[in-house]
Amino acid sequence: MTNPATTRRVPETRVTKQRIAVTAALGQVDDFVTAQELHRWLIDEGDKVSLATVYRLLLSLAEEGLVDVLRNNEGEAMYRQCVIEHHHHHLVCRICGKAVEVEAPAVEKWAARVAEENGFTDPTHTVEIYGLCPGCSAAKDTGEST
């Protein structure tokens, strides 16, 4: 019997008009967007794509490592096309949401060591570091709003 917790979903890799539209839209977005925001943008641009399809394609692109996924303060998934094409982490501003991709070899070594020490194999992880970006820090120090 197959354990659903260990069964991995096969990513959607067919090249469809909807996949092309979602990928192109992500290429024009500088910051993270929710599926709803991306769907609204696609509809405004005249693309015929359902919200369910946008969700499915974003999940597939994330599984393929083509988009980054973060959770906002409400726990909602937000997506952005990857700039760094291999495993990486993010610094995220708590005020404006700006995200910077960072590589952290020490984190990779730590995660592998902790997994090994506990008998785990094939470890994966995500790390997001939240703080204030330089612009929001400066605005906070001067009492301005961003």
pTM exceeding 0.85? no
Distance linking the first and last C-alpha atoms of the chain: 54
pLDDT at 80: 84
Residue 1 clears pLDDT 70, i.e. is over it: no
Residue 9 clears pLDDT 50, i.e. is over it: no
13 pLDDT tier (thresholds 50, 70, 90): low
- Of 1-5, 27-31, 89-93, 141-145, which range is least confident? 1-5
Dihedral of CA atoms 104, 106, 111, 114 in degrees, nearest 10, equals: -170
pLDDT, tens only, 56-108: 999 999 888 788 888 877 888 889 887 656 677 778 888 887 778 787 788 88
Instruction: Give me the amino acid identity at 85.
Output: E
Between residues 3 and 137, the one the model is more confident about: 137
Q: What is the 3-state secondary structure (H, E, C) of 74-99?
A: CCCEEEEECCCCCCCEEEEECCCCCE
Token code pair at residue 118: 């506990």
Dihedral of CA atoms 54, 38, 81, 27 in degrees, nearest 10, equals: 110
Q: Give the count of alpha carbons within 13 A of 14, CB side only.
A: 5
pLDDT, tens only, 16-55: 899 999 999 998 887 889 999 999 999 999 999 999 999 9
pLDDT at 35: 95
